Structure 1
């Protein structure tokens, strides 16, 4: 069937009419849910920087599946071609990936994010503690986020992946190899990927150890840091105010 015949097919035209607007709305809702998660992550990052002088988050990325990508996955999984079935059967339409410096940070971010009152945890898969057979490591959390529209709140699913820099580098390479070979990866490359996963794990452990040594070293005094940002003139005024308050309390 050529393009003209396909477009003239009454059943195809009816399907497009039936699915187009609900699918567009679904993608819009999932984009809003991604925006909500990104806002939460941004607030966490800023809090860590301001209160703890440490940022556990190196990079944050996001995406919402395109219409062809959604429909391709629906067909591969044998899901009914209806908006309701698609929403219920595909949990990774919206995705957020958080890359952290160290393994401990991945769990810390996951715990902090999932503890928020408006986040409902659907499932969590810990591929760091229990890697996939090919060596893949990451934390996967399926979360439900309320998206507030004019018609009211819409509970929307977002898949959040949290991993270290080393895990992310390995996963990116693995994805490119599997894409190039369309899943039929030669045995020697599969073995090399498995070896590389172990090397990445060793790097994570060594960097975690170094990080712990640095963190346990004597940090600068909080008082010294606070005073350091004040100029001499302002310090004098503060000292005068303190003395004045002390005399008033005598």
Structure 2
């Protein structure tokens, strides 16, 4: 019986915090080298206790098997601009020596019947505790901004309908998912144009900031 949930979840929170720093660091490296970063931004969370308990009942997870059977107590989400970026991020994660990939589920090439699209990766990540090393399971979801918008809305509606959507609403959600994916595909078609424009904008903004930070060394007479 887990009596101290805060103590139980502490390693999971440490894993989320460390992974967020590392993933955001990858983005920073791309930016500083002047390359397009496949990572737009990163979020992470530890599943709330109430959600853990509800899922334990729904999935028939025994408490003594919680650490092995519930893969998403620690969860991270990587947002990308383009669908191609998702697979680049997946390749980057496969190359890392500090995580072990246990499972991959491609819901982009194989969307769920609801229309849900995302790339799920279950990893094993070691955290260093005062009592020694502990290997934590975590789930990383990689998706585009459009996919994330749809998934966030669908998740909210799921609380209202408990997964039993009215037929008309379900059909609308499926159409919206297809529209979001069509948007992603259209953006991929003009990807080079978008990246070139973003690079020009970034350089211009950087130059503007540098100009404003340069002290005015002219003498008063030069302004007359």
Does TM, normalized by the shorter one, top 0.5? yes
**Residue 10 (structure 1) aligns with:** none
Matched, 1:206 2:186: yes
**Residue 67 (structure 1) aligns with:** 49
Aligned counterpart in structure 2 of residue 123 of structure 1, from 73, 89, 103: 103
CA deviation string 1:33-65 (max 9, x = no partner): 111211211110101101133233223211101
Matched, 1:38 2:20: yes
Report the secondary structure of 1:153's partner residue.
strand
Structure 2 CA distance, aligned partners of 1:75 and 1:182? 15
**Residue 33 (structure 2) aligns with:** 51
Structure 1 CA distance, aligned partners of 2:39 and 2:101? 21
**Residue 180 (structure 1) aligns with:** 160
**Residue 61 (structure 2) aligns with:** 79
Report the secondary structure of 1:96's partner residue.
strand
Report the secondary structure of 1:185's partner residue.
coil
Matched, 1:106 2:89: no
Q: What's the CA shift for 1:127?
A: 0.5
Report the CA distance shift for 1:199/1:177 in structure 2 as closer, same or farther (over 3 A).
same
Q: Does the Cα contact within 8 Å between 2:24 and 2:42 map onto a contact in 1?
A: no
Q: What's the CA shift for 1:166?
A: 0.6
Structure 2 CA distance, aligned partners of 1:76 and 1:52? 47
Structure 1 CA distance, aligned partners of 2:23 and 2:133? 21
Q: How many residue pairs align between the two structures?
A: 201
Q: Does the Cα contact within 8 Å between 1:142 and 1:160 map onto a contact in 2?
A: yes
Report the secondary structure of 2:33's partner residue.
helix
CA deviation string 1:94-128 (max 9, x = no partner): 10011110011111112112311111001010101
CA RMSD, aligned part only? 2.1
Structure 2 CA distance, aligned partners of 1:186 and 1:212? 41
Gaps of 5+ in 1: 1-17, 221-229, 231-250
Structure 1 CA distance, aligned partners of 2:173 and 2:58? 26
Q: Does the Cα contact within 8 Å between 2:15 and 2:125 map onto a contact in 1?
A: yes
Q: Does the Cα contact within 8 Å between 1:40 and 1:113 map onto a contact in 2?
A: no
Q: Does the Cα contact within 8 Å between 1:33 and 1:157 map onto a contact in 2?
A: no
Matched, 1:25 2:7: yes
Matched, 1:142 2:122: yes
| Worse overlay, 61-70 or 189-198 | 61-70
